[in-house]
Structure 1
C-alpha cells in the first residue's frame, strides 16, 4: 500500500470508448504529495484519456475504465462522482482554455469560489492570491474573458480552478496554442504555487521540454501504455528521451520500449 505521501495512484489502467475503441492498455504511475508530475507523449498517446479517468470524466464521453485502479487519497475514484471529487480537492482544467466568455475575468474566477460555497471574505482573499500568481489577470479583471488573449484565457481557467482550493490540480495541455513566453509564464506560476503552497500537480503535455524543466517526475505514454517513468532531471539528460521527445535528433521508439515497466510494476525501469 502507498504511504501517506502518495496522493494519487494509477495502477495498470485499461480504458475504452464505446466498449470498442481501446485508448489505454496499461498505464501506471504514482504522484507524491507536493510534487509536479508530467505526463508526456505524442498526440494520441492517451494523456487526455488518462486525465479524464483520474477525474472520472470518461463516462461523460462514452468512455469506461475496464480494469486497473485509480486511487485519490486512498479512495477509488470510480466510486465517486466528478463533482464529489472536486469538493474533495481533485480539480481538473480541461484542454481548450474553457472560460465563460461573456463574463469578466474576475467573474470567472469568482465562479470557482462559489462552486465550493466559499464565503465572500474567503473569495476576496483567494482572488488576491490568484492575482499575485497571475498579475496579468489583475490587469484584465474587468475585461470580458472572450476579449482576452489565449494565454490570459488559460490563466483564467487555471485561476478559476485554484479558487476551488484544490489539493491536486490536473492540467491537460496548458501550453497548447500559446506563445513560448506565455507558456513559460504559466509554468513559472505553477511552480511557484507548488513551492509556496505545496499544491500537487498532474500535467499532461506534448511540450516535453518545458514540462521536464518544471516537473519533479515524469511518465511517458506511448499508444496507451506507460513506457518510462523517473525523475524529470534524469529524463532530461537521457539521450533516448532527448532525441525522441525533445527533437534533438532522430531516434526510434524501440529505445524507449526497452524500459517499459511490467504490468504489475507502477514504476519505470529507471536505472
Structure 2
C-alpha cells in the first residue's frame, strides 16, 4: 500500500518569542492526506508552539519563525494570514475550549460557517452533520455555551471548526481537563470523521495513551526538537516512551489516565 500524499510538511522549524526565548530549535515532520497524526511531548516540549506556527498564530504572542519551512498542499504558508488558511481548509481548535460564552451552542457553531459565505441550507446541513457526531450538542443547542460542561464546550469548539469544512483539522490538547469518558467520545467522533470523510487530523496531546490509541502515526517532541517518529502501534509497544520523553514513570506506561472533571 502506497503512502498517502503529503498534505502538511514542516522542515527544520525554529521559533523565537520576544526575539530572545527559543521555543523550537529543529522540528520537522509530515502529515499525509487522510491521516491522524499525534504530536506528543511533556509540558514545554513545544507542541502548542508548533501548532501555532502551522496556523500562523505566533505573531499574536510576539513569536516568529526564524528558520525552516511549512508547506500546506505544496504551498509555503509560513507568512499567510490565519483567516486565509481557514478559507483554504486548515483550521485549528485552540487549547482551552474557546467558545463565545454568551452565545448559545448553536450560535457558536454557526459562527464557524460565516467565513466561507455559506448559504442557509449549507449551514443547516452542516449543523446536522455536527449534531450526528456530537449528539450532546443537539440536546444543548439552545443552551448558553457558558452554562454547558467543559466537555460540551470542547465539543462546541470542535463542531465550530467542522462548520468551516476543514481539510486539515489541527487540535491542541483536546483532552485537557476532561473526564475519560468524554475524551473517549471526542476521539471516537474524530476517528469517525477521519474514516468516513477522509478528514486529516493533526492533534497535539500530552495524554499519549488516548492519542496513540486513535492515531495512525506520532511524532515526539522534546525541548523544541522532534526526536522520535513512528506508527502509533510501534510507539505503543515501547515502554520507554513515556519515561524518556513524556515525563512519566515507566511503571505507569500501561496505566490508565486518572479521572478528570467533565
Q: Which residue number corresponds to residue 210 of structure 2?
A: 210
Question: Which residue of structure 1 lines up, in the alignment, with residue 158 of structure 2?
Answer: 158
Matched, 1:102 2:102: yes
The one-character-per-residue Cα deviations of 1:88-127 (angstroms, maximum 9, x if unpaired) are 0000000000000110000000111112111000000000
The 2-side partners of 1:211 and 1:192 are apart by 15
What is the 5 A alignment of 1:23-38?
A: 23-38=23-38
Question: Which TM-score applies when normalising by structure 1?
Answer: 0.89
2:259 aligns with none
Deviations 1:150-196 (A, max 9, x none): 00000000000000000000000000000111011100000000000
Q: CA deviation at 1:39?
A: 0.2
RMSD over equivalenced CA pairs, Å: 1.4
Q: Structure 1 regions of 5+ residues with no counterpart?
A: 252-271
| Secondary structure class of the residue paired with 2:69 | strand
Partner residue of 2:197?
Answer: 197
What does residue 170 of structure 1 align with? 170
- Equivalent pair of 1:236/1:242 in contact (CA under 8 Å): no
Q: State the distance in 2 between where 1:59 and 1:34 align.
A: 29
The answer for the alignment partner of 1:249 in structure 2 is 251
Paired residues, what number?
Answer: 249
Deviation at 1:77, TM superposition (A): 1.1
Task: Quote the residue 2:82 is aligned against.
Answer: 82
User: Match of 2:223?
Assistant: 223
**Residue equivalent to 1:180:** 180
Give 3-state SS (helix, strand or coil) of 1:52's partner. helix
Contact map agreement 2:47 2:221 (CA 8 A) in 1 = yes
Q: Do the aligned partners of 2:44 and 2:223 also contact (CA within 8 Å) in 1?
A: yes
Unaligned runs of 5+ in 2: 254-262
Q: Secondary structure at the match of 1:190?
A: helix
Q: Deviations over 1:4-38 (max 9, x none)?
A: 81000010100110110000000011000000000
When normalised by structure 2's length, the TM-score is 0.92
How far, CA to CA, are the matches of 2:144 and 2:215 in structure 1? 32
SS in 2 for 1:130: helix
Question: Runs of 4 or more off by more than 3 Å in structure 1?
Answer: 242-248
Q: Deviations over 1:46-70 (max 9, x none)?
A: 0000000000111111000000101
Partner of 1:45, secondary structure, is coil
CA shift digits 1:196-239 (9 cap, x unpaired)? 00000000000000000000000000000000001011110012
The answer as to whether partners of 2:240 and 2:250 remain within 8 angstroms in 1 is no
